[in-house]
């Protein structure tokens, strides 16, 4: 196990109706906020009205910036930065999923940066940011308590991440009831994203890390079990709660302690969702199994352990490789049975851009830690995913 420091400043408020407490939480920081949200779904489900009522009760002045898209855009971030500076706003309330939260974090960092905000995503260093609060509507990205933000620049369609502890939200309100309105596809895409966050951490070359291995395995098994329930019973509060909490635990960095995560699959997928504007979780459902097929021989024991502990695959000691491959196949089957794509062809992505995407993915050097991947490796993974 590696040395580590773990600290997460985000206060979690989890449960029914707790969005009505948002005014009290915001009041601890400010009397004026930027309310940042997406295309209007929070209004359709009544969440917007509940939030506004809570804020008005505490006499919080609200300046709104709607319009966040999936794979949030740099142009809107820049508009938010200008708006915060003009209105002298020091706190941003993000109401939505990972895209809204990531956009809010980027605005929070950009307001205090003297240059263009994209510079922060290029050099990967953020030292200060405005405070951010969150009301989560889609369990997926885990951005509600992470220090990460991912933004897409329209020029060249670059999708890039940045991470800093100063970006962690001050509080996050998680009410599973809010997720009842999600479609089966939105739910499945979010679950694929959660599973990918767990597996990025799981596949490490650091050994031994048995405690966090078993915590990740348990979270994956719980996620798999409750997926079938939420897809069959979308208003099942208990199952929705388990999925929502799994999404937070998967990406709040507790499961990173003592190990080096991989993150190659995320970087490879960013080229897909950055260019083709597909849901991040859908891209990960295609890329992650392809990455596994390409790298599993780098540490086959880890993949055999994954197959046995997560999927219940028994090992044939005469042919142990079969267990590793069967675990990968069961992951693909899980995604497929939940209505997700498992090939780039299903996403209408042809091989014509594979070379360009592999070049962009690795232009600053190899990606991944489980196995360092160069352009030729990434290109091969796109081909396996095709």
Instruction: Indicate if the pLDDT at residue 386 is higher than 90.
Output: yes
Q: Domain 11-178 has what CATH class? A: alpha beta
Encoded tokens for 303: 């993949």
Share of the chain above pLDDT 90, in %: 97
Topology (CATH level 3) of domain 182-385:
Dehydroquinate synthase-like, alpha domain (1.20.1090)
pLDDT band at 331 (very low <50, low <70, confident <90, very high): very high
What's the pTM value of the predicted model, to 2 decimals?
A: 0.96
Over the stretch 56-74, which tens digit does the pLDDT of each residue have?
999 999 999 999 999 999 9
pLDDT band at 365 (very low <50, low <70, confident <90, very high): very high
State the Cα angle at 37 between 33 and 43, rounded to 5°.
110
What secondary structure does DSSP assign to 90-137, as a single string?
A: -EEEEEESHHHHHHHHHHHHHHT-SS-THHHHHH-------EEEEEE-
pLDDT band at 317 (very low <50, low <70, confident <90, very high): confident
Q: Are 92 and 130 in contact (CB under 8 A)?
A: yes
Indicate the SS3 state at residue 330. Answer: helix
> Domain segments of the chain: what residues?
11-178, 182-385
Q: What is the DSSP letter of 224?
A: H
Let me know if the fold of 11-178 is the same as that of 182-385.
no
Indicate the SS3 state at residue 139. Answer: coil
What average pLDDT does the segment 67-87 reach? 97
Over the stretch 170-207, which tens digit does the pLDDT of each residue have?
999 999 999 999 999 999 999 999 999 999 999 999 99
Position 180 scores a pLDDT of 97
Over the stretch 102-132, which tens digit does the pLDDT of each residue have?
999 999 999 999 999 999 999 888 999 999 9
Pairing of β 32-36 and β 91-96? parallel
Over the stretch 202-233, which tens digit does the pLDDT of each residue have?
999 999 999 999 999 999 999 999 999 999 99
Length, in residues, of the chain = 386
pLDDT band at 268 (very low <50, low <70, confident <90, very high): very high
């Amino acid at each position: 196990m590696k040395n580590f420091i773990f600290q997460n400043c985000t206060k979690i408020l989890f449960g029914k109706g707790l969005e009505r407490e948002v005014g009290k939480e915001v009041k601890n920081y400010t009397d004026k906020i930027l309310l940042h949200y997406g295309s209007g779904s929070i209004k359709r489900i009544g969440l917007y009205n509940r939030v506004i009522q809570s804020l008005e009760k505490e006499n919080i002045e609200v300046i709104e910036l709607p319009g966040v898209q999936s794979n949030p855009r740099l142009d809107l971030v820049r508009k938010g930065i200008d708006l915060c500076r003009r209105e002298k706003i020091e706190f941003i309330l993000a109401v939505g999923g990972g895209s809204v939260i990531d956009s809010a974090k980027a605005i929070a960092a950009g307001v205090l940066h003297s240059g263009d905000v994209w510079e922060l995503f290029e050099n990967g260093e953020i030292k200060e940011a405005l405070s951010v609060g969150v009301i989560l509507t889609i369990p997926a990205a885990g951005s509600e308590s992470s220090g990460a933000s991912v933004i897409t620049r329209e020029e060249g369609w670059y999708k890039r991440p940045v991470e800093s502890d100063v970006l962690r939200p001050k509080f996050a309100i998680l009410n599973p009831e809010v997720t009842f309105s999600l479609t089966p596809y939105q739910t499945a895409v979010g679950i694929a994203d959660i599973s990918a966050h767990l597996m990025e951490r799981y596949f490490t070359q650091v050994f031994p890390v048995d405690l966090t291995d078993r915590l990740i395995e348990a979270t994956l098994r719980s996620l798999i079990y409750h997926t079938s329930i939420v897809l069959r019973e979308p208003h099942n509060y208990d199952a929705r709660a388990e999925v929502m909490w799994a999404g937070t635990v998967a990406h709040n960095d507790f499961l990173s302690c003592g190990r080096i995560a991989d993150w190659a699959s995320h970087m490879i997928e960013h080229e897909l969702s950055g260019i083709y504007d597909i849901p991040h979780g859908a891209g990960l459902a295609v890329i992650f199994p392809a990455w596994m097929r390409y790298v599993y021989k780098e540490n086959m024991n880890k993949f055999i352990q994954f197959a046995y502990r997560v999927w219940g695959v028994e090992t044939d000691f005469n042919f142990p490789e079969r267990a590793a491959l069967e675990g990968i196949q069961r992951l693909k089957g899980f995604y497929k049975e939940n209505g997700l794509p498992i090939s780039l062809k299903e996403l209408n992505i042809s091989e014509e851009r594979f070379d360009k995407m592999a070049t962009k993915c690795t232009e600053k050097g190899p990606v991944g830690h489980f196995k360092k991947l160069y352009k030729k490796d990434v290109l091969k993974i796109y081909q396996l995913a095709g």
